[in-house]
Chain A
Amino acid sequence: MAIAPITGKLRKRFWLDLSCALGLGIGAGYAYWYGSHLRDLERQESYYVKLERERAKAAQ
């Protein structure tokens, strides 16, 4: 029996795989960046602002 030629893989799977892989990856990466890293930095910055306010208040 003749074997059916394997064709059209690029069209059928490659672009979908590439889009899903990079899309999910970049989405998760940004979720981590905004949800964890920047949130922690903001918390740290707000603590330093609080310290600075307290220092200014004490100096008055």
Chain B
Amino acid sequence: MINYLTYLTTIFNDASEPWQLGFQDSAAPGFTGIVTLHNTIGFYLIVISFSVFWVIMSVIYYYSSSKNPIAYKYLTHGTVLELVWTITPALILIAIAFPSFRLLYLMDEVISPTLTIKVVGHQWYWSYEYSDFITDSGDSIDFDSYMIPESDLELGQFRLLDVDNRLIVPVDCHIRLIITGSDVLHSFAVPSLGLKLDAVPGRLNQVSFLAERSGTFYGQCSEICGVWHGFMPIVVEAVSSPDFIVWLDSAS
């Protein structure tokens, strides 16, 4: 019971949890915006739900057959009433649409990225390419990222979520991801960073994000891509800039 109650409180993890109800903690301004929009719409939802349920209860109680044996059947239409119940929802939809569009266009902005990483979805793994840097031999830094099978998991690693090679990014830097697929549709999704973008073969999609804190953020392919769709997770590790340089040096 105590365990169940803890599910109703805030989730303190950057990975999905069994029976999780809420969002993961945000690690990027984009995801904070998404959560705020969700909760803003939640506010309207609560107001509308209370109003509708109150009116339904009121009608059931005061206009039941025992209290009103004769139905008032002569009210067949009412122009004012119809105007009210058409215009009010329209105003509510507009109030929801404006913050939604604002966030949508803000998240589409790619603000002079510090780093560009190419992400390619394959059946059934991800590969990453740091096109801004080259190795000693002049090649770009690229590697594949496969899920760690259950038999090889070490203590503390997540089943179906951990990978052999993580995508390493520096914190507090604008990072641009260029995402594509090599065979079929995939979708690169990391909830804590507010990322979800389709990887479409023959097309380059781009998205920008900024990791506000160090951490390891887990995601999964979010577009059905074949039998092992559920076995190509994503792990993004945000590290400090000096640590990133050290990693880059070792990777090259």
Chain A residues within 8 Å of B, Cβ to Cβ: 3, 6, 13, 17, 20-22, 24-26, 28-30, 32-33, 36-37, 40-41, 43-44, 47-48, 51
Q: Given A32-B43, A40-B10, does the pair A51, B213 have CB atoms closer than 8 Å?
A: yes
Number of B positions contacting A (CB below 8 A) = 26
- Rounded to whole Å, the gap between the CB of A9 and the closest CB of chain B is 8
Interface residues of B in 44-90 (CB under 8 A from A): 44, 46-52, 54-55, 58, 62, 68, 70, 72
Q: In the bound complex, do residue B51 and residue A25 qualify as a contact, i.e. CB atoms below 8 Å apart?
A: yes
Q: In the bound complex, do residue A28 and residue B50 qualify as a contact, i.e. CB atoms below 8 Å apart?
A: yes
When distances are taken between beta carbons in the complex, the residues of chain B under 8 Å from A29 are 43-44, 46-47, 50
When distances are taken between beta carbons in the complex, the residues of chain A under 8 Å from B25 are 44
- Rounded to whole Å, the gap between the CB of B242 and the closest CB of chain A is 11
Q: In the bound complex, do residue B39 and residue A26 qualify as a contact, i.e. CB atoms below 8 Å apart?
A: no
Name B39's contact: one of A30, A36, A48 (CB within 8 Å): A36
When distances are taken between beta carbons in the complex, the residues of chain A under 8 Å from B72 are 6
Interface membership of B114, Cβ < 8 A: no
Q: In the bound complex, do residue A48 and residue B55 qualify as a contact, i.e. CB atoms below 8 Å apart?
A: no
Determine the residue in chain A with the shortest Cβ distance to B27. A44
- Kindly name the residue among B47, B48, B49 whose own CB sees the greatest number of chain A CB atoms within 10 A: B47
When distances are taken between beta carbons in the complex, the residues of chain B under 8 Å from A24 are 50-51, 54
Known: A24-B54, A37-B42. 6 other contacts (CB 8 A): A6-B68, A25-B47, A30-B43, A32-B42, A40-B35, A48-B213
> What number of A-B contacts does a CB cutoff of 8 Å give?
59
Q: In the bound complex, do residue A13 and residue B39 qualify as a contact, i.e. CB atoms below 8 Å apart?
A: no
Query: What is the predominant secondary structure among interface residues of chain B facing chain A?
Result: helix
Name B47's contact: one of A26, A36, A48 (CB within 8 Å): A26
Chain B residues within 8 Å of A, Cβ to Cβ: 10, 25-26, 32, 35-36, 39, 42-44, 46-52, 54-55, 58, 62, 68, 70, 72, 212-213
Determine the residue in chain B with the shortest Cβ distance to A39. B10
Q: In the bound complex, do residue A32 and residue B58 qualify as a contact, i.e. CB atoms below 8 Å apart?
A: no
Q: Given A3-B70, A17-B58, does the pair A44, B44 have CB atoms closer than 8 Å?
A: no
Shortest 8 CB-CB contacts between residues of A and residues of B: A25-B50, A25-B47, A21-B51, A21-B54, A37-B39, A29-B46, A29-B43, A29-B47
CA distance A24 to B55 in the complex (A): 12
Determine the residue in chain B with the shortest Cβ distance to A47. B213
When distances are taken between beta carbons in the complex, the residues of chain B under 8 Å from A6 are 68, 70, 72
CA distance A29 to B212 in the complex (A): 29
